[in-house]
Amino acid sequence: MDFMNRSEQAQPAHQQAPVSSASSSAPVSRGDKGAHRKETSKWSRVGAVAMLFALTILIVAAIGVLFYGPSDQSKFVDKSKYQAVFLTNGQVYFGKLTNVSKDFFKLNNIYYLTQNSSTDSKGTTTTDGNYTLVKLGCQQIHDPYDQMVIETNQVSFWENLQDSGKVVTSINQFVKQNPKGPDCTQVSNQTQATSNSATQGTGTNSTTNSTTKNP
């Protein structure tokens, strides 16, 4: 009887072993969760650093466009020379570029070319292949100031002109012949028309200005 009682009392002690085993495995599960949280936090920091780096690159690029974009063309303007400004609509103007920015071009002391033409008694218009240099100003019917502000997106390209060129030679001749500027009593109804060649304007010559022959 005693032997059987001891055997029955030992049996509950033997059945508690699985409980002890189950409880010992609990800390392992918490450790896995902690490692997972650390890994997630690590990749979050990596992502934040990558985003910060990308944002820095964008800011640097924006600053570069702001300071070294189209406005940087101004460093190529030779202040001692005349410039030719070619517009996207085919017109071209000659003068002095006094301001070049990312928004607009400012041109002063402006001239343009018109093609010489004549009309016979039958109404037929012909050209002689020569071009007249016209000073922008009081001789035009709309009497503009000798200044032009052109949006940058309207400029196809521009050039510095050599003093030996026909256009600058004609400008210098006009200035020599008209030291006080154009004769404002001779008002012309002529304005520059759009040119298909993108190198000179068209129109009827009705002003006495320097003429340059087409090469």
Highest mean pLDDT among 10-19, 34-43, 174-183: 174-183
Window from 41-45, 68-72, 87-91, 174-178 with minimum mean pLDDT:
68-72
Q: Which pLDDT belongs to residue 32?
A: 65
Contact 160, 77 (CB under 8 A): yes
Q: What is the pLDDT of residue 167?
A: 93
Q: 133: Cβ–Cβ under 8 A, 6 or more apart, which residues?
A: 111, 112, 113, 167, 170, 171, 174, 209, 210, 211, 212
Q: Measure the CA–CA gap between 77 and 156, rounded to whole angstroms.
A: 16
* Cα–Cα distance list, 120 to 69, 123, 127, 128, 213 (Å): 52, 5, 11, 13, 22
**pLDDT at position 140, please?**
79
Q: Helices (H) and strands (E) in the chain — how many of each?
A: 3, 7
3-state secondary structure of 185: coil
Q: What distance in Å separates the CA atoms of residue 203 and residue 141, rounded to the nearest whole number? A: 14
Instruction: With a cut of 80, say whether residue 208 has pLDDT above it.
Output: no
First to last CA, the chain: 137
**Span 48-71, pLDDT tens digits:** 887 888 888 878 766 655 555 545
- Angstrom distance (rounded) from CA 118 to CA 79: 38
Confidence of residue 40 (pLDDT cuts 50, 70, 90): confident
Give the pLDDT band of residue 210 (cuts 50, 70, 90). very low
The whole-number average pLDDT for the span 191-197 is 49
**Predicted pLDDT of residue 138:** 79
Lowest mean pLDDT segment, chosen from 3-17, 146-160, 169-183: 3-17
* Dist CA 102 CA 104 (whole Å): 6
Residues 66, 150, 164, 90, Cα dihedral to 10°: 120
Q: What is the pLDDT of residues 71-111, one digit of tens each?
A: 578 889 999 999 999 999 999 999 999 989 889 999 999 99
| 176 to 2, 83, 172: CA distances (angstroms) | 142, 19, 6
